[in-house]
A and B are shown apart, each in its own frame.
Chain A
Amino acid sequence: MTLNRKSPRGNPLLFIQGNEACVYGAIHAGCNFFAGYPITPSTEITEGMSVNLPGIGGTFMQMEDEIASIAAIIGASAAGAVSMTATSGPGFSLMQENIGYAYMVQLPIVIINVQRGGPSTGLPTMLSQADTMQARWGTHGDYTAIVLTASSVQEAYNVTIRAFQIADRFSTPVIVLLDELIGHMREKVELTMINNKNPVRRKLPEVPPEWYFPYKNTLDMVSHPAPFGEGFRYNITGLIHDKAGFPSSVEHEVINRMEFLRNKIMQHCQEIWDYREFYTEDAKYLIIAYGSAARAARGAIETLRNMRIKGGLIELKTVWPFPYLPISKIAEKAKSKIIFVAENNMGQLVHPVNEIFSNSVKVFNINRFDGHAIDPYEIVDMVKENIYA
C-alpha cells in the first residue's frame, strides 16, 4: 500500500487490516524491538514488524517459540528497548510464565493477543473473545493486569500507541486484546501519530548510581528499573525482592512488594480506564461489550431506539482493570433495569459485571461461541425477549 492519500489534517490515510494498523501504531509509538513467532491470526503483525524495524534502527527477531519471544522482549526491555510481541491463543498460553516474570520485575512490554477460538488449537482462523479472563488471570500468583482493547482498525492503531505509553508510564506489561475480526478486517485508518514528536523512550534515573534503588517506592507508586549498561548495576529477579532487587522472604518485604504491584495500577485506575458511551443517559437496558461484540451492539442499539426501546451501550476500551466505577455510575444515573453483557465466548466478562450489580439489577449474558461474530439482531431479540418477560 502506498501513502498517496491524505486526511484534511495532512496525515496519511490507509485502507488496511487491524493487524497492520498495530504495526504502524507500534512503530509510531517508538517500538524498537520485536521478537515473535508466527501464529494465525496475528502473523501479519510479526510480518509487518520484520518489514519495518530494520530500516529504523530497531531489532526484529523470529524466535524458536513464543516462550523465547516473550523472554527476548523482556531481556531487551531490561537493556532499555521499547519492546513488543504479538501472538494468539496457544502462543499466549505459552507466554504466561514469563508475562508473570515481567509483572514481578516491573519491566515495560507490550503483548498483542489477537484472540482466536479455543481451547487448544480451537478455531485458528475464526473469531473469539475467550481469552478475556486469561488476559487477567493467565499467569500464576496474585497480580494486577492492564488489558486494553479496540473495536475498529483505527482504534487498533490508537490502542497500540496507548499501550506503549501506559507500559512505560507504569513500567509493567500491557496486553492488547484484539479479536480475529478486528485483526483481519480492513478499514480506513488515519495515521495520526506519524510525526510523533514524543516517541516512548526509557527514562534514566535522576540519582547517581550509589543512591539508586530500582524498586524503591516513589510518591506516585511507580518504579522504573534503569536500563542495563548505563552504570546502574543492580539485580533483577523473579523472586520476591527488596528495593535493591535482592531476593527476600521477610514478611514485611513480601507484603510491601505484593501491595506495591497492585497499588501502582489500582491507584491510577482513572488514568487507565477508557470506554465509550452510546445513548446511555436514559438507557433502561444497558449493554456492555468490547471489540467486535461492541460493533454488533452499536447496530442493535440503533434498531432498539427505532423501536422506542431505551437501549444503551458501554463499549469498553479498557477491559482490565475492569471499569467498575464508571459502569456503576452510568447505570445508576440512567436507572438501568437490565444489564446485557454481549461477548464472543461462553460467559467471561459477565462475571465482573455480576460482581458490580450482585442482586440489585438483573444481568443477562448474550453469548456466541461458534467462531462467528454476534449478529445485531441476536442482541435485539435477546433484549426484547427479556424486557417483555
Chain B
Amino acid sequence: MHELSDVYSYLRWKKRFPAVWCPGCGIGSIMGAIIRAIIDLEIPKDDIAFISGIGCTGRMPVYLDFNTMHTTHGRALPFATGIKMHRPEMKVIVVSGDGDSLAIGGNHFIHAARRNIDITMILVNNSIYGMTGGQVAPTTPIGKVTHTMPYGNYEPPFNPVELAVSAGGSFAARGTVFSILQTTGYIKKAIKHPGFALVEIISQCPVQYGRMNNLGSARDMLLMQKKNSVPIKKAKEMSEEDLDGKIITGIFKEEIKTEYSSAYRNFAKEIRDGTGREDSP
C-alpha cells in the first residue's frame, strides 16, 4: 500500500486541482496507478518525461510533477521519440486516449511500435471521444450509439494490443480500471521494459458513452468491466463466440528485442570509431 502523502508529493495539487475530468471518469484512477507504479520503481521525478496528446487523457500531464508536455492531437509519440532520442537516459511515458493514439495518431503508433523505441505508452480506452462531447472513436464497439453514429456504430473497432504486437512492439498488456491494482502491475512492468511497451486500460466514460448507451452510472460501468473481464489464460480455452463483447486482460507479449535508441547509439559509435565517410565536416 502507498501512503496518501507519498502519492500527493507527485501531484501539482496545490496549484492545479480540481481536475477537469467529469465525476465518475476513470482517468483519475489511472493517474493514481501511474504514480503508484513510479513510487514502487523509485524513479526520480527529474528523469521522467511525461508526454500526452489532446483529449481528456491529454490533460493528465498538467497535474503531475514530472517534465511534462501537452502536445498536439495525435502527435505525442513523435514528440516523445524526439525526447528519447536526444536523452536516452530519460524514462519517457506517453499517455493517450483511444482517439488520440489510434485515429489521428494511428500512423505514429504503428511506427513507434515498429521501431521498438523505449517508450511506455498508457492507452486509456473509453470507447469514445469524451472531450469533444461523445463522437465515435476507432474503438467504439459495433452497434453503440454516439453523437456522430446516432443510429448505432457500423465501423469495426481496432484491437490496440494486437495492433501494437503485429507492428513490432515488444510489450503489450490490457487492464481495466476496475482491477486497478492488477493494472498498476502491468504499468510497472511496462515502464521497466526496454522497448515499446503498451498498456491498454479499459476505462469508463459515464457522462458520454454510458449516458448515450444506457450503461448506467460509473459504478454500473465498473461492475460491467468486472463481469466482462476474462484473463488471457482462460480466454485461450474459450470459443470466439463466447469471447464476443468480453475484455481479455493480461500480458499479451513480453519479449526482449533490439531497442531503437540504444541500437542507434551503438551504430553511431561505430561510425565515430572510424568507419564513417571521409567527407564528414
The chain A residues found within 8 Å of chain B, CB to CB, are 1-3, 24, 27-28, 32-33, 35, 51-52, 54-57, 59, 61, 63-65, 67-69, 71-81, 83, 97-98, 101, 191, 194, 228-231, 233-239, 244, 246-247
Contacts and interface: CB of A to CB of B under 8 A. Distances in A.
Contact of A59 (B16, B79, B86, B111): B86
Contacts of A238: 70-72
Contacts of A191: 281
A64 B82 contact: no
A5 to B, nearest CB: 14
Given A1-B279, A64-B108, A247 B62 contact: yes
Contacts of A2: 278-279
A46 B81 CA distance: 18
Contacts of A3: 279
Contact of A65 (B81, B107, B279): B107
Interface in B252-277: 264, 267-268, 271-272, 276-277
Interface in B45-63: 45-47, 49, 51, 61-62
Contacts of A83: 82, 86
B71 A71 contact: yes
Contact of A68 (B15, B45, B68, B108): B108
- The main secondary structure of chain A at its interface with chain B is mixed
B280 interface: yes
B162 interface: no
A54 B276 contact: yes
A68 B272 contact: no
Listed residue (A52, A56, A80, A237) with the most chain B CB atoms within 10 angstroms of its CB: A237
A147 B80 CA distance: 27
Interface string B63-99: 0011111111001011111110111011000000000
Contacts of A78: 69, 79, 82-83
Q: What class of interface size applies to chain B in its complex with A?
A: 35 or more
Contacts of B51: 75
A55 B272 contact: yes
B78 A63 contact: yes
Contacts of A27: 281
B70 A76 contact: no
A285 to B, nearest CB: 43
Contacts of B70: 235-239, 247
Contact of B82 (A56, A75, A230): A75
28 contacts: A24-B281, A32-B86, A35-B78, A51-B279, A54-B267, A57-B268, A57-B272, A63-B78, A63-B81, A71-B72, A72-B79, A75-B78, A75-B79, A75-B83, A76-B82, A77-B82, A79-B82, A79-B87, A80-B87, A97-B72, A98-B72, A101-B71, A228-B90, A233-B68, A235-B12, A235-B61, A237-B61, A237-B70
